Amino acid sequence: MISSRRIKWFDAALTLLGSCVVLFVVAPLISIVLATSIADLTEVAVDQQVIRSIKLTMIAAFFATSVSAIAGIPLAYVLARKNFFGRSVLLAVIDLPIIIPHSAAGIALLTLIGRRSLMGRFLDTSLTGTAVGISVAMAFVSVPFLVNAAREAFLAVPEKQEKAARTLGASPGHVFFTISLPLAWRGIVSGMILMWARGISEFGAIVIIAYHPMTTPVMIFQRFNDFGLTQARSIAVLLILICVCLFIILRMLNNPKNQGPTNA
């Protein structure tokens, strides 16, 4: 009896603490939605500047994710399967964009792709103030989510299956494309979704690389400074609703009904 009561109290404590975290995440979102009128939301939904900024944000994040996947997925496979000198350092380097203040990340990128940078002087051009520059900033701050998720997905693939294929004469490339990648694809897609979502939300690095053309997070900041809370709040709610809908759809596509959430 005592043991049963202790379990119930422990379960109740876990539920209470977990509910606090959920409430902390959900409460601001509910608050901002309830504080925004349908009229204000409709007004920004037909604003051509807002529509263009949302399109730019979505496309730039998709481009950053797609290009990063070409090199990020093979890197994740190497990190999952190979032990080599400096591997732990490389893992730490991959995570650096997560811990670096994003305004500092923007300054660092500016010294690489700006007109006065070595690359800019060599190419006689600059990526600042361009959609490509925005994608570069998004990729820099969000690529760890893709690489780490893909690495975990490859680690979950039974290595004995790969070794069995190799003993039967399959090349490393054939094993990768016919065994490793098909078995890890769900985790890789989850990482790509996270990277895409993180790219959409980026502000600090982008505002330094490209204030114009405006991504939606930058426009929210601009409208807040120029017109106040109401206009900024309406655009924020519109972006939140679009992102939540797309995120739910993508998660549902990546999670068949017969699979639990832990298999995402």
Q: Residue range 176-195: average pLDDT?
A: 93
Residue 98 and residue 9 share a domain = no
Determine the Cα–Cα distance for residues 155 and 167; give it in Å rounded to an integer. Answer: 20
Residue 198 and residue 142 share a domain = yes
Residue 131 and residue 55 share a domain = yes
Q: Residue range 219-238: average pLDDT?
A: 92
157 belongs to a structural domain: yes
What the block records as the tokens of 23 is 């409430």
Residue 144 and residue 20 share a domain = no
255 belongs to a structural domain: yes
Determine the Cα–Cα distance for residues 35 and 33; give it in Å rounded to an integer. Answer: 5
Residue 195 and residue 148 share a domain = yes
41 belongs to a structural domain: no
Q: According to the model, what pLDDT value does residue 127 have? A: 87
259 belongs to a structural domain: yes
Reported as a single tens digit per residue, the pLDDT across 15-30 is: 999 999 999 999 999 9
Q: Residue range 87-109: average pLDDT?
A: 93
Helix (H) or strand (E) holding 264: none
- Residue 12: which pLDDT band, with cuts at 50, 70 and 90? confident
Q: Residue range 76-92: average pLDDT?
A: 93
What residue type is 134 in one-letter code?
I
Residue 128 and residue 1 share a domain = no
Q: According to the model, what pLDDT value does residue 257 have? A: 55
Residue 52 and residue 16 share a domain = no
pTM to 2 decimals? 0.86
Determine the Cα–Cα distance for residues 125 and 24; give it in Å rounded to an integer. Answer: 45
Residue 254 has pLDDT above 90, yes or no: no
What CATH number is attached to the domain comprising 75?
1.10.3720.10
Residue 88 has pLDDT above 80, yes or no: yes
Q: Residue range 228-254: average pLDDT?
A: 87
Residue 10 and residue 90 share a domain = no
42 belongs to a structural domain: no
Q: According to the model, what pLDDT value does residue 194 have? A: 92
For residue 98, give its domain range.
48-263
Residue 61 and residue 10 share a domain = no
43 belongs to a structural domain: no
Residue 90 and residue 17 share a domain = no
Looking at every residue in the chain, the average pLDDT score rounds to 89
Q: According to the model, what pLDDT value does residue 119 have? A: 78
What residue type is 189 in one-letter code?
V
Q: According to the model, what pLDDT value does residue 2 have? A: 52
Residue 134 and residue 220 share a domain = yes
Residue 118 has pLDDT above 80, yes or no: no
DSSP secondary structure string, 181-236?
A: HHHHHHHHHHHHHHHHHHHHH--HHHHHH-SSSPPHHHHHHHHHHHH-HHHHHHHH
